A and B are shown apart, each in its own frame.
Chain A
Amino acid sequence: MIRKRWWTFAAWACLACPVCPAPAAGTVEESIDAVRVAGSVDGGFQAAAESAGHLRRSLTGDDLPKLLDAMRDVDPVAENWLRGIITDVARKAEGLPTESLADYAMDRSNNPIGRGMAMELVRTETPEQATKLIDQCLDDPSLPLREMAVEQAIDKARSAAAGDKSSAIAIYQAALTNARQPKQLQTIVEALNKLGESVSLGGAFAMITDWQAVGPFDNVDGVGFAAVYPPEQQFASSAVVDLAAKPEGKHGVVSWKEVKGSDDDGKVDLAKAFDKEKGAVAYLYTEFDSPSEQAVQVRLSCITANKVWINGREVMANEVYHSGSAIDQYTADAKLRAGTNTILLKICQNEQTESWAQEWEFQFRLTDPNGKALTSE
């Protein structure tokens, strides 16, 4: 009895003692698994927090590839958990295995996010080596590595532009072909234009500029976002619209008409098309030919409320007015079928009177899942 109490007390004292590391929370593999599902199970954050402590205490620099491998197919939140733990382990390590990390980063069979993280570690330890390796990643399937390579290419082209203009243009052109990140694309297009090259933003992004539009429909007091007007009703049920139809609009009968996006940036100006109408809804229709069935990303820039349907299926709805805008501001996954695909947009304008709240416009494009612009074929 006493012996039992003795050991109970000793065990309790040991557990409560903060000097020794806490007992292992299962195996390293179990801890990694707990971190990988941090946000997707009940109590997952607490379990992940305990596992993060376990991994930090248990792993050394040589174990980093295990954590890099764990970044495969996890959501962005779990990615950041792993990123934080990797940084903790790397900080506590006495010298990082930069050669094996570099090998990991350059091996295209490894997971793309882990490879990017490995290169970040190499760059911290041996920046010159990293620069040389990153130069080889301009067409890399790992988007983080490709982004680093494009960043380096832009820097190189900027340096070259002062002395050797043609060399700068060549570097920019190569970067333009491979860039996927919208801000980087924008930077390259602007730089090429400054060097006298004729490259349009709309062309580089493959913005879709040919549309049929109908409106305005009523959106006074914001009623139009939820309202289902005839073009939407027809498209949601049959994936087509009748371009000859003349539905009842806000001020009477309305007809479909052609509207075209800017040659420069692909922006479609609805304020111009609909005489600066406020409290209004417009529908836009186009078709997109795909050579095969494929997964795509729908990418929309729009400073007002909007909805998007592809082949009759709603893929996006955002009820936000005049709160900033950027290229590819809204993205959603969708599927195209082989042949002709139909696209319907609903773009709303509210009744704000401030000078900064008068824009009623959008830019729209389709990309592959990695951001490569697609054009109708």
Chain B
Amino acid sequence: MRKLLARIGDMVGTDHGGKRYTYGNDPKFGPVSTSRLPSHWVRTTCGYCSVGCGMLLGVRDGRAVAAKGDPDHPVNRGRLCPKGLSEHHTLAAPGRLTDPLVRRNGRLVATGWDDALGEMVTRFGRLIEEHGPESVAVISTGQLVTEEFYALGKLVRLGMRLAHFDGNTTLCMSSAVSGYKQAFGSDGPPGSYADLDQADCIVLIGANVADNHPLLTPRLLENRAATSIVIDPRVTKTAMVADQHLAIRPRTDITLLNGIIKLVIDWDMIDHGFVAEHTEGYAELADHVQQFDLDRVERECGIPASAVAKAARTIAEAKRCTVAWTMGVNHSVQGTETVALVCALSAITGNLGRPGSSPFSITGQCNAMGTREAGFTASMPGYRSYENAHDRAELAQLWNVTEDRLPLVRGRAYPDIINGIIDGRIRGLWVIATNPVVSFPNRDLLEFALAKLDTLVVQDGFSTPTSDLADIVLAAGIWGEKEGTFTNSERRVSRVRAACRPPGNARTDFDIFMDVARRWGVHDDLFAGWATPADAFEEWRRVSHGRLCDYSGITYERIDASGGVQWPCPTDEPVPLGGTPRLYTDGVVPTPSGRVRLACVTPKPFSEQPNRRYPFTLNTGRTVEHWHTRTKTGEVPILDSLSPQAWIEVHPDDANQLGIRVGDTVRVSSERGAIDGIGVRITSIVRRGEVFVPFHFDEMCANRLTLNEFDPVSREPNYKQCAVRIDTGAKGR
């Protein structure tokens, strides 16, 4: 009866629901909606991108109810982007996995951990027995905590002894890794965010930070003393706030950089002292760039020679120049070479290891750096080389294992694992916290590969298009439910804390790894005495000691005291509380000669040029509201409503010619696949003949179109250029 009365009251409006919209007072942050009022705040680090913003997660009754920027954190000074501000919603999202699943009679059904892990170990064990350790591969992520990466590397390489282990970081930063190795002899971003504050010239190449690393953009705007130069084919939000924008044609960055280097050399504005003492290959470089005169640059890059000269002049005259880049450079078959060329430009102008002066890769995922350093993929933990005898001996001794237990080679990189599945050599795959169905190029081929697998295990916090295809799904805890550390783009190690428990029967990735180790019979051997991620961190500190990425002086307590510590931070040397702001301050780099190797790079036209059948060049990228394949942000209602669908950006002249209008829907297709019913945005932020589609969306997946071509060294995909056509038909939305 009372219910009925309430129902009627609701219908006629005697009650306007005001009781649901009251405000309470939070002692730290002031009045706020009672629905967002926490009983306490948990200090942590954001789990999206690698800017690494300090965050406070508000908790009430075991649930995360609010997220705020940590006012004391050196990276973000209390501010967050829209993803961070709503990140607490991801934890209790409807798409969370709460139980492990196993496929029975074609359907995934909830089961217990014994069943799921038992079946995984049995099936992988059988494959290895029948087809060798080459037959099972692991693809992980850049989004676990460093402690988990370290544990996973040991488990996969030393415990399960699998030959092929890589991460989705190969889709993202591997060109930066291999470019750094080529120029400096080791991975490791030399600079800091502080360089953006201190530089008098900031160059961003293929880096739309306003959309992708929003909390770095204020540093650009607030550094009034610096001239900012953005190099990007598209007039991005970042390009619009820059002082100079070089809207080069796609993939003509190498030509442009060579042209700029030539001008700097011609003007005799190189740093002669630095070049003489700290570089090698200068004569070859100076000779090589002679072919890149301004006429050629103007012709190939499609921008006025005067703009190139102006930018070159700004760079040459700068006392402190920071050159930062992201995916526009990395996502290329020439990614490694382009990174090496950026490093060369920095080196010949003497911009290395000084405040405001560095080449600087802005990383993608929250802890891609953690897996680069502590993982066991492109190198052994601590940037140790598989081939280097000293590195092998040292690591074997640290772990108290015989050297022959360490793999001799890296094994297949991500795209080569996929190729290995297609050619039948790899039959089992364990995918951890990544969603290749949406994120890998040429989706059609990827789906074909996954369908060929004997056993696909997917470990994730969410139900994803990839987990839908799995034989076994391991329900994992995510950021906000786990303890450990993240390392951001500027090598800053920050704490990540659990605000609540994983939902239902889901378990943290660390727990799952330990359980697999037990079932594989290697736990006592590899992880003796380990109870929590902190134990992994302690061992990792010892293992990294003496390496470039030295964590030995970093403790959880020190992180709390400083708000984040930048490695290298050796325990036995005097280092400031917040760690080491930049590498190579003495100009000496870890190449055999100690000198920066200057790269001579020749641009190659991208393979799939626009043609009669596919007349447009497709560029792909991101939007500020979403993260990766939307497994998290698609579950946050406000982010989803701000940007619920993919779109295609088309220049007004092209739109006219095609006879399409704003709001029309079109079919976009390439040699490999098509997206149907995608909405058109007519905008001059793209050049005529070029179109743009954001890659986040499963339903309108840009990776149905993209090309499966990879950098020969880094194996990073060439996501940024392929040829597509646009067909009209379906109108209106």
A and B interact physically: no
Binding site for A on B (CB under 8 A): none
Interface residues of A (CB under 8 A from B): none
